[in-house]
Amino acid sequence: MKFLLVFQMCYSLGGACLQPMQEKTYDTFRECSLNGYEKARKVIVAMPKERVEDYRTIIKFWCEAKKIEASKIEKDA
Which has more confidence, 15 or 61? 61
Cβ contacts of residue 73 below 8 Å, gap of 6+? none
pLDDT at res. 77: 43
| Tens digit of each residue's pLDDT (9 = 90 or more) over 22-73 | 989 999 999 999 999 999 999 999 999 999 999 999 999 999 999 876 555 5
pLDDT at res. 68: 75
pLDDT at res. 69: 67
pLDDT at res. 71: 53
Q: What is the pTM of this model?
A: 0.78
